[in-house]
Structure 1
């Protein structure tokens, strides 16, 4: 399904194939010869999303842009099943295995591999050709790789981790943090009530 959101409609090259059960919403540009498979969601929540040429988005993958963080996916990139990319810049010829997660403000260089269930944390910068092993975490700039049992080291490697502040504009020390966060975010998401199928 294609949706106009915030006055922007998806733009899909004539040679791209989008499954009828995929959802493409808002300011999304899908380039030549791309494939977007069943259940995939590509949603521009205030920021644009661009997919280059020959990008493959597998079943149930999620690509999401925000007003603070646009998304760009380089040519010949494969985004595996259940992978998630939020507000990131991705180079050409990148492989995201099943369950890979990439967070806001991160940069993934050309020809990187983000393997099964690996995580690229917010604002991490992966140089060209980097590999994040199965289940591992990439954090920081310059990037460091951690096994998942190194929670303290992962936290220390991330600059200014303030996720509620960076993504939602809510101070982490707010006494009613989740109330503020859900009300603000819910209000923003409620703008989908005016979306139009195209």
Structure 2
């Protein structure tokens, strides 16, 4: 489904393929020979999403651009099934495996791999050719790559990156942080009520 959001229509190269049950919404560019498979979501929620050439987005992956952090996926990269990538800069020839997560402001160097269920945290920089092993966590700039059992060491870096403050403008220590966060985010996402469907390939319209 192709959807106009915020008055902006997606741009899909004629050589690209978007599956009938994928959703492409707003300021999204799908480059030449890209493949966006079934159930994938590419949504520009305040900031653009850009796919280079020959980018493959597998089933049920979610790619989101934000006002603070646009999303760019470099050419010849693959985003695996059920991956979640928000507001990041992904270099060329990157491999983001099944179920991995890449957060706002992250930068992933060319030729890097984030393996199954790996995590690249907020504002983290992976150098070119880096590998995040299965289930491991990359955090910081430059990144430290650690197993999930090293929670205290991860948190020591992660806390300073300030996810709620950076992404939502909310003070983590405020007892009403979740109230503020959800109300603020709900207002922002409410802009989708004014979206218009440009093409629904499931129905042929």
Counterpart in 1 of 2:51?
51
Deviation at 1:49, TM superposition (A): 0.7
Structure 1 residue aligned with 2:60:
60
| Structure 1 counterpart of 2:162 | 162
1:2 equivalent to 2:2? Answer yes
Match of 1:38 in 2: 38
Please name the residue that 1:177 is paired with. Answer: 177
Query: Which runs of 5 or more residues in structure 1 are unaligned?
Result: none
Greater mean alpha carbon deviation, residues 147-156 or residues 170-179: 170-179
**How far does the alpha carbon of each residue in 1:17-62 deviate from its partner, in whole angstroms, 9 at most, with x for none?**
0001000111000100000000000011000110000000000001
The alpha-carbon deviation at position 159 of structure 1 amounts to 6.7
1:75-154 correspondence to structure 2 within 5 Å: 75-154=75-154
Measured after TM superposition, the shift of residue 143 of structure 1 is 1.1
The answer as to whether partners of 1:5 and 1:25 remain within 8 angstroms in 2 is yes
Deviation at 1:145, TM superposition (A): 0.8
TM-score for the superposition, normalised by structure 1: 0.98
Moved over 3 A (4+): none
Residue equivalent to 2:201: none
Answer yes or no: is the 8 Å Cα contact 1:144–1:157 preserved in 2: no
Give CA-to-partner distance per residue, 1:104-159, whole Å, 9 cap, x none.
00000000010000000001100000000000001111111100100111112337
- Aligned in 2, Cα 1:9/1:49: closer, same or farther, shift over 3 Å? same
How far residue 169 of structure 1 moved from its aligned partner, in angstroms, is 1.3
Calculate the aligned-residue CA RMSD, in Å: 0.9
Q: Which residue of 1 aligns with 2:196?
A: 196
1:165 is displaced (CA, Å) by 1.2
Q: Once the 2 structures are TM-superposed, how far is the Cα of residue 175 of structure 1 from its aligned partner?
A: 2.5
- Equivalent pair of 2:123/2:161 in contact (CA under 8 Å): no
SS in 2 for 1:160: helix
Q: Extract unaligned runs of 5+ from structure 2.
A: 199-205
